Amino acid sequence: MKFQKAHTMRGEVTIPGDKSISHRAVMFGSLSEGTTEVTNFLQGADCLSTIDAFRKMGIEIENTPDKILIHGKGLHGLQAPSSVLDMGNSGTTTRLISGILAGQTFTSTLTGDASIRKRPMRRIMEPLSMMDGKIESVNGNDCAPLRITGAPLHGIHYHSKVASAQVKSAVLLAGLYADGETLVTEPTLSRNHTEIMLRYFGADLQSEGKTARILPEPRLEGRKIDVPGDISSAAYFIAAGLLVPGSEILIKNVGINPTRDGILRVAKEMGGNITLLNENHDGEPTADLLVKHSVLHGITIEGDIIPTLIDELPVINIMAACAEGTTIIRDAAELKVKESNRIDVMVQYLSAMGCDITGTDDGMIIHGGQPLHGTEVDSHLDHRIAMSFAVASLVAEGETTIKGSDVVTISYPGFFEDLARLCAM
Ligand code: S3P
């Protein structure tokens, strides 16, 4: 797909539902008794992979245009899948479902696309094995395909080396089936949607600082969930509104959970003009975001804030490339094991656009303010790379071509239409 520089961006956009919350609604609804009704569910390919997997395990899920209905069968109601479970591109499906499957009474096999089959699974295999789970990498390379044989699980206190909500969630979900309490302590708090939603469904789960503790065998009950807009998808419009001269964009109903809102804190520290309107703090907090064009300056981004903006770092790189001065990103080695190696890919294509950027072991150093020019970018099967460079194209001279841009359907099927609409207003 080809892109040109934008003149200005104006108008309103309603962002599709949060990907992390949509996945969890399907999973926890399936493990609950009764019906779970989900509105503003993200109809992205990743979340459809989660629906497909639970359907294959005997859960009836109605997917209608305005809501999805999950007819859960309780904690022990899943059936052995009739075929291999295909996770598509979804790391969240793969890692969270592994925790659930470890506690079943049947064997299952998980696989996925070329990207998922390269992503590290040792990080969940290790704690699940410590719980007596039987999980193996079919090709012996610590990646999918994974074969999981359900087994009686043992509660543990797991001290995770990485701040990963997927690892934390896999262990907590296995903890639903364990013989006693299960605790997870992380080095830095990662997104806490599992803790909030499992508690809402009726689990006995407590969080204190960086430790979450769950008791086994709760009776989970079907619930209503209205999924907030995904701040990770809003990030592209935040960046576009800040960078394109004369812009003013209202982004409606965005989730602003403090474990996810690092982009807002960073954008403001860089000098970004963002106002939160209509804040709502019932359940997962939400707000409308009014974003106006701003002159940005470089900052240092490191430490505890990193997990709260990990998926937004590619587009924060674009903001940094356009900011005056130097931006240093540290403590973000996790970028290397996302849908692509996001340090290498960002350095490769931002350099090709004329940016002064150097990759490091755990982040990047960007000397901003050089004019960007169009180039050809390959998405590397990574939706966030495709959307980040679509934003870069709005401020680059000449034409930018993004190969493999269809990958945006993973998390934001209507992204290019929404972007074009705001450019035209
Ligand atoms: C997610 C957790 C994060 C994030 C991913 C979604 C989740 O991954 O990058 O897009 O829904 O739990 P890690 O847990 O690997 O950091």
Quick: pLDDT tens for 232-244.
Answer: 999 999 999 999 9
Q: In this structure, which CATH number among 3.65.10.10, 1.10.150.20, 3.90.650.10, 3.30.70.330 belongs to the domain 19-226?
A: 3.65.10.10
Kindly give the distance from the C-alpha atom of residue 386 to the centroid of ligand 1, in angstroms, as a whole number.
Answer: 18
Q: What is the pLDDT of residues 48-63, one digit of tens each?
A: 999 999 999 999 999 9
Q: Is 94 in the pocket of ligand 1 (CB under 6 A)?
A: no
Q: Is 329 helix (H, G, I), strand (E, B) or coil?
A: strand
Q: What is the pLDDT of residues 292-328, one digit of tens each?
A: 999 999 999 999 999 999 999 999 999 999 999 999 9
Q: Is 186 in the pocket of ligand 1 (CB under 6 A)?
A: no
Active site residue 288: no
Residue 167 CA, closest ligand 1 atom number: 14
Kindly give the distance from the C-alpha atom of residue 369 to the centroid of ligand 1, in angstroms, as a whole number.
Answer: 31
The pLDDT value given to residue 414: 97
Q: Is 98 in the pocket of ligand 1 (CB under 6 A)?
A: no
Average pLDDT in the chain: 97
Do 2-16+228-424 and 19-226 agree at the fold level? yes
Q: Which helix (H) or strand (E) holds 148?
A: strand 146-149
Q: What is the pLDDT of residues 272-298, one digit of tens each?
A: 999 999 999 988 999 999 999 999 999
Kindly give the distance from the C-alpha atom of residue 125 to the centroid of ligand 1, in angstroms, as a whole number.
Answer: 16
In this prediction the pTM is 0.98
Residue 123 CA, closest ligand 1 atom number: 15
The mean pLDDT value for 145-168 works out to 98
Residue nearest ligand 1's atom 13 by CA: 164
Tokens of 222: 């079907």
Kindly give the distance from the C-alpha atom of residue 192 to the centroid of ligand 1, in angstroms, as a whole number.
Answer: 10
The pLDDT value given to residue 304: 96
- Cβ atoms of 203 and 220 within 8 Å: the answer is yes
- Cβ atoms of 166 and 96 within 8 Å: the answer is yes
Q: Which helix (H) or strand (E) holds 135?
A: strand 134-137
Alpha-carbon distance 328 to 331, whole Å? 10
Distances (CA, A) of 349 to 104, 310, 353: 44, 19, 6
Quote the distance between the C-alpha of residue 226 and its chain's center: 18
Q: In this structure, which CATH number among 3.30.300.20, 3.60.21.10, 3.40.50.300, 3.65.10.10 belongs to the domain 2-16+228-424?
A: 3.65.10.10
In the predicted structure, residue 71 carries a pLDDT above the cut 70: yes
Kindly give the distance from the C-alpha atom of residue 424 to the centroid of ligand 1, in angstroms, as a whole number.
Answer: 33
Q: Is 90 in the pocket of ligand 1 (CB under 6 A)?
A: no
Q: Is 332 in the pocket of ligand 1 (CB under 6 A)?
A: no
Which of 226, 311, 378, 382 does the annotation list as catalytic?
Answer: 311
Rounded to 5°, the CA angle 363-245-237 comes to: 55
In the predicted structure, residue 425 carries a pLDDT above the cut 80: no
| DSSP summary character for residue 186 | -
Q: Is 310 in the pocket of ligand 1 (CB under 6 A)?
A: yes
Alpha-carbon distance 344 to 405, whole Å? 18
Kindly give the distance from the C-alpha atom of residue 382 to the centroid of ligand 1, in angstroms, as a whole number.
Answer: 14
The mean pLDDT value for 174-202 works out to 98
Checking phi first, is residue 39 left (phi over 0); if not, alpha (psi -120 to 50) or beta? beta
Q: What are phi and psi of 243, to 5 degrees?
A: -90, -35
- Start-to-end Cα distance in the chain: 21
Is-cis flag, bond preceding 152, omega within 30?
A: no
Residue nearest ligand 1's atom 4 by CA: 311
Q: Is 259 in the pocket of ligand 1 (CB under 6 A)?
A: no
Strand arrangement, sheet containing 134-137: 85-86, 107-111, 146-149, 134-137
Strand arrangement, sheet containing 273-280: 10-14, 248-255, 286-292, 273-280
Residue ranges of the domains in the chain? 2-16+228-424, 19-226
Residue 23 binned pLDDT confidence (cut-offs 50, 70, 90)? very high
